[in-house]
Structure formats: C-alpha cells, structure tokens
Chains A and B, each alone.
Chain A
Amino acid sequence: MEERCHDLIDYFNGTLSATDRDAFEAHLATCDDCKQAFQEMQDLMLPIAESLPERPIPTGMKSRILGEVLGSANEPMKPASAEPTRKETPQVSELESARTQKQKKRAVPLGWLMSIAAALLLSLGANAYFLSQDESSPTEEFAMDEVKGMGNFESTASIKGSSMIFTKDEKEYMLVQLKDLPPLKEGELYQLWTIQGDTPRANGVIEKDGEAAAVFPLKGDGTIDAVAITVEPEPDLEKPTGEVVASVAL
C-alpha cells in the first residue's frame, strides 16, 4: 500500500488540506485500489441514508429554504442559447410563497434571527424584552410554536433589519431586529406599528438609535399584514404623526 493510500478516509471526510487533497486526487486517478474503495464508500451512502429513521420535517422548511435559495445572490449559470424549460402551467404552490420571500430580498440569516428569538423567549414576560445585539448569539433551542410571517424592512432612512411574527403558548409576538437607526432628537422615539389592512396600531417603542432587537407581545387579533416604523414625539399614539421610516410586508 502506498503512503498516499492512507489518505482515503481523510479525503472522504474532507479533512485533508488543499495540497493533500489535490495530491490525493492525482493519486486516485492512478490507484485502482483506492478508486474502487472510494467508490464502495460512496455507493453505500444511499442505502445507509435510506436506513435511517425518518425525522419529521419542521413546518415551513421547504418554503424557507427555497425562499433563501431563490433569493440568493447568484443565479445559476444560464447557457446563452438554452431557454429555461418551464411547465406551461406552473403549480401555485410553496414555490409561490418562496418567490414572494425572494421579492422581499430577505438577506438576514434565518438561523441567527431564530436564535435571537430563542434567547428572548427564555425570559419573555408580558412586557417587551430588549436584547443587546450580539453576533455570538446563544444557541439554546428556540421555543416558538409557529412562525406566522417574516421579512426584511425596506427603509427610506437606510434602516436595516427584519421582523418576525410568531406564536408561543397561543400568544402572538413580534420580533424585530434593527440596525442603522438614525439618531433621535431629544424626546423622540421610534414607534412600531402593526398594520392590518389600512389600520395601524401602536405596538412597541424603541427609544434608542443604532441597533436594537426586541420582542413585543402583539396587541389585538387577526393577521398582521405589515409592520411599520415612524418617529414620534410620544409613545403609543392613536395614529402615526411622523413619516414611515421603515416598513416590512409580512
């Protein structure tokens, strides 16, 4: 057995350095024994995978993944001559909701947003709970029951962020995480509004600029169509008085 033959397992497991990997691939082309052994390992992958106990699929996984994939920056390479072959009658399906998500240009990593939600829920009480933004977000399992909608804010004031509506123990909550909130003047605050149809309802206040992440229990019932943010002189007014500086359709 040649010295290189010892690298087979590490090659299979992707633990070789780039140099060793290239060297092993060159070796693989000439060593029939390694080639055959590698093929045998590959061929068993399908039966082994099929033998595993089936895990239940998290609700909405397909829509989330296809939304992310279709919304990802790089479109697949399209051959210049070949038109994409499409079905004449595409099914209205989760692909549609994935496309909708794509249109919202969702760029915030889902896992990160959810892990914020996880951290917040650990001690979520009746009031809003604020969290300082921390890239090394906790990895506790999140305990929300259902995600009812999420999306990225579109802003006229360069505010970035996203919002998620979710349920937990039959109560509804809104998670927002924002950054680049412009500085506020003395006495001003950022008011969050949930919007149902054309009706806004004051639902949470952020009294700081820069970055903020918070969960607010949702007021009222029914489906939230959008979340908007205005700058207001007082919290929880009947109607917004300031311009909408950011909004997200859910």
Chain B
Amino acid sequence: MHTQSDESLYHQMRSGDEQALEVLYEKYERLLFSFAHRFTNNDRLSEEVIQEVWMKIWNGRVDFNTDKGKFSSWILTITRNAALDCLRREKRQPTIEVEERDGGYDEPVERTVIQRETASEVRDAVSELKPDQQELIELVYFTGLTQQQISDQLNLPLGTVKTRIRSAIQALRKLLDGRER
C-alpha cells in the first residue's frame, strides 16, 4: 500500500477509504508539521493548521486534480494557506518567538537518506543566493505579506518587487537543478 502513488491514495480516500487517509496522513505528517511550524512557531497552532488541512481534504472543501501539478506541491499549498490564515487570525508575526509547550513528543523517526540530502541541498542552495534574494524568498514564502508590504519593507517600487522575486526564485531553481545533475 505504501508504494501506491499519492494521487491514487487521494482518490481512494475521496471515495471514503479511511485507510487511504491514514496512509496519506502518515506520509505527510512530518513534512507538514515542520512546514506549518515554520509559520506558526508553535506546536498547538501547527497541529490546528494540519487538522484544518485534513478536514478540508477529507470533506472535499478542496479538491486535487493532476492539472494542479503534483499532490505534494498541492498539499503544501493548502497547508501554507491554512498557516497564513492561522497567523492572520492569531495576528502574530511569524518571527515572534513563542514559548513551546512542555508536552511530550513522538520518538523521532530517521529521515530517509533522500530527505536528508534534499534538506541539506536546498539549504546549501539557499545559502548560495545573494542576501537580498534570500530575504525575498523568506518574505514571499513565509510571511504572507502583500506585494505592497514587501515593497514598503524593502523600499522598492511595486513592479520591481515582482521582477526581483521572480529572479530570486529562478536563481534558486537553477542552483537546485545544478545540484540534481
């Protein structure tokens, strides 16, 4: 079952298969939690975000099809939107340090070799970007600021922001592609 594609598990789940839901949940639990945590900086809020994501998916309030690209990118987009909504609700800035709950944690599971390599490769690639490009990636992906706010923050004309963001994204893509070869 674990070798099934995400897309086929998704369709099984949408027809009411709880087992498929569990497999997909397990597959994405760590990735989504770390991702949500990057926005909320808080365990409880991250859990709420992930719950919201699976509620939406299970209840068909969002729908995946292959026109939307890969399932992994799609579910991360849903998670990111839910995390940004959560931040807006909480009116928290993602950079504020919030004390963590003193609760228990599951035993860490070793990441696969591929995941570890990906993680370090992307981190290396990001670190090779120019500092202003790193900042743009951070602003676009993790703060949810509007283009106007980014423009104000960086003191750049509105039109220039999009162009700069695009070149930062393309530069990162290029660095990543270079590593894959």
* Size bin of chain A's contact surface: 35 or more
Q: When the two chains form their complex, are residues B1 and A87 in contact, meaning their CB atoms are under 8 A apart?
A: yes
Q: Chain B's interface: helix, strand, loop or mixed, by majority?
A: helix
* Size bin of chain B's contact surface: 35 or more
* Cβ-defined partner of B144 (8 Å) among A7, A15, A42, A50: A15
Using a CB–CB cutoff of 8 Å, the interface residues on chain B facing chain A are: 1, 12-22, 25-26, 29-31, 33-35, 37-38, 42-44, 46-48, 50-51, 54-55, 58-60, 69-70, 72-73, 76-77, 80-81, 84-85, 90, 98-106, 108, 111, 115, 118-123, 126, 137, 140-141, 144-147, 150, 158-159, 161-162, 165-166, 169-170, 172-173, 176
Task: A40-B166, A66-B54 given; name 8 further pairs at CB < 8 Å.
Answer: A9-B165, A12-B140, A37-B162, A43-B173, A45-B80, A78-B16, A141-B102, A142-B101
Query: Can you name the residue of chain A whose Cβ is closest to the Cβ of B138?
Result: A48
Which stretch in A51-59, A128-136, A195-203, A221-229 binds the other chain? A51-59
* Given A14-B85, A39-B69, A44-B172: A54 in contact with B108 (beta carbons within 8 A): yes
Q: How many A-B residue pairs have CB under 8 A?
A: 217
Shortest distance between the CB of B121 and any CB in chain A (Å): 8
Shortest distance between the CB of B39 and any CB in chain A (Å): 10
Complex alpha-carbon distance, A40 and B159, angstroms: 18
Q: When the two chains form their complex, are residues A61 and B33 in contact, meaning their CB atoms are under 8 A apart?
A: yes
Complex alpha-carbon distance, A13 and B39, angstroms: 13
Query: Can you name the residue of chain B whose Cβ is closest to the Cβ of A56?
Result: B105
In the bound complex, residues from chain B placing their C-beta under 8 Å from that of A84 are: 12, 15-17
Complex alpha-carbon distance, A57 and B30, angstroms: 7
Q: When the two chains form their complex, are residues A76 and B33 in contact, meaning their CB atoms are under 8 A apart?
A: no
Q: When the two chains form their complex, are residues B144 and A13 in contact, meaning their CB atoms are under 8 A apart?
A: yes
Tell me if A65 is interfacial: C-beta within 8 Å of chain B: yes
Tell me if A178 is interfacial: C-beta within 8 Å of chain B: no
In the bound complex, residues from chain A placing their C-beta under 8 Å from that of B119 are: 50-53
In the bound complex, residues from chain A placing their C-beta under 8 Å from that of B26 are: 62
